[in-house]
Amino acid sequence: MPQGRIVGVVSRREGRAVDRLGCVIAILIGIAMIVGPFAIYRANRIAAGDARLIFSALPPLGAIGLVIVCGAIAFVSAIVRKPEMRLAASALGLIAVFITMGLAADFLTPPGNSFARVSPGWGFWVLVLAFALLVADALARLRFGPWQRIAALVVAALTLGLLLGSGAWSNVALLKEYAARADSFWREARQHLVLALGSVSAATLVGIPLGALCHRVSAIKGAVLQVLNVVQTIPSIALFGMLMAPLGFLAATVPLAAALGIRGIGAAPAFVALFLYSLLPVVANTVVGLEQVPAKVIDAARGMGLSSSQRLRQVEFPLAFPTILTGIRIVLVQNLGLATVAALIGGGGLGTFVFQGAGQTALDLVLLGAIPTVLLAFTAAVILDAIVDLTKRVPS
């Protein structure tokens, strides 16, 4: 057989071949539809739940429509390779499952019953996971640039906000928990951001100069990084506890510290712990970024008559900035998650709802704190990844 015909046959076979990741996604969709409970009905917020599959959780037309949509998306994920079609199908799937979850809550909640709770079942979450994987796969194939990724994030946020603001989820237990705690939710969300962003900002202000010093004075680099490594190995709860005694003593003996709000419990030990956890990635990435600056560039700057400090500010830092920013991204995502633990010592934040819900065996209250934390971390990662890419594209 001629070589050209062989290539043509292979190409046609590859065109018909199933997508491996798509097959996994299709299997997840099938499991979620067939055996996964789509919704959980509870007589009240802490009662045992009654799992409902799709056809018992939704009115007949809604169930049939959801099954048809999910089946079509499973076919697309397994067979179709065009990323545009995969992205459109996954976006349609996410919209469909969120809308039908609200429909299930309206369908299952008895009229006039304010105590009943309807929560998403694990079948719903598996469908969300499957469609999110399909979105991620499509975006990877499309190779979106930084501005396109930010635009996609904005569109997703607006779509989610429109869904929640429309009242479609008003009978879902998660939104009922939010409605009962709207004021405290936003207060704790602001505290969460203050702890995470404030500690990252402080670590950046301290860590970048410290990293530059370690780069310049190699004798101290090993000791500094080793100490910061030791801090990273201490569990967060233990570090919070270790800071309570010295901060409490400081508040008791220094009136100014007490006036500034420093206490043995509360936001102060949480902030200090998050700051200490943040130092290693910032310092280490600053050292690595500065060490990666080509020696020829430094020699050229020296030949132009630039002093050591001028070379650092005008040449080395701009070239090392993408690496330094990568460390800040790691720290921010890390601290948005770790700030949840601050609630255990009275530091506030979204972890307040997580631990309250765990104590009351109210899963929806746990999710009220956990889901926004995950969304904040994901948003921070996407935005900072895009900024890192943009800084790498700036010509030196």
pLDDT tens, per residue, the chain with 396 residues: 454 454 444 334 444 567 888 899 999 999 999 999 999 999 887 778 899 999 999 999 999 999 999 999 999 999 988 999 999 999 999 999 999 999 999 999 988 888 889 999 999 999 999 999 999 999 889 888 889 989 999 999 999 999 888 888 999 999 999 988 988 999 999 999 999 999 999 999 999 999 999 988 888 888 999 999 998 888 877 887 777 777 776 766 767 666 666 666 777 888 888 999 999 999 999 999 988 888 888 888 788 877 778 888 888 888 889 899 999 999 999 999 989 988 888 888 999 999 998 888 888 899 999 999 999 999 999 999 999 888 876 544
Task: Give pLDDT, residue 313.
Answer: 81
Helix (H, G, I), strand (E, B) or coil at 172: strand
Gyration radius from the chain CA atoms: 26
Strand 50-52 and strand 39-42: the pairing is antiparallel
Q: How far apart are CA 16 and CA 315, in angstroms?
A: 52
Name residues whose C-beta falls within 8 Å of residue 371's C-beta, 6 or more positions apart in sequence. 174
Amino acid letter, 294: P
Residue 275 C-alpha from the chain's centroid: 20
Assigned token pair, 350: 């979204």
Q: Which residues pair with 41 in a beta bridge?
A: 50, 118
Task: Give pLDDT, residue 249.
Answer: 66
Nearest CA among 156, 163, 171, 198 for reference residue 108: 171
Nearest CA among 95, 96, 102 for reference residue 176: 102
Residues present in the chain in total: 396
Task: Give pLDDT, residue 164.
Answer: 86
Residues of the chain with CATH 1.10.3720.10: 182-393
CATH match for 182-393 among 1.10.3720.10, 3.30.1330.10, 3.40.50.150, 3.90.1150.10: 1.10.3720.10
Q: Are 131 and 165 in contact (CB under 8 A)?
A: no
Q: Are 43 and 114 in contact (CB under 8 A)?
A: no
Q: Residues 142-158, buried b or exposed e (16+ Cβ, 10 A)?
A: eebebeebbebeeebee
Average pLDDT over all residues of the chain: 86
The DSSP 8-state label assigned to residue 307 in this structure reads: -
Q: Which residues pair with 39 in a beta bridge?
A: 52, 120
Strand 117-120 and strand 50-52: the pairing is unpaired
The DSSP 8-state label assigned to residue 266 in this structure reads: S
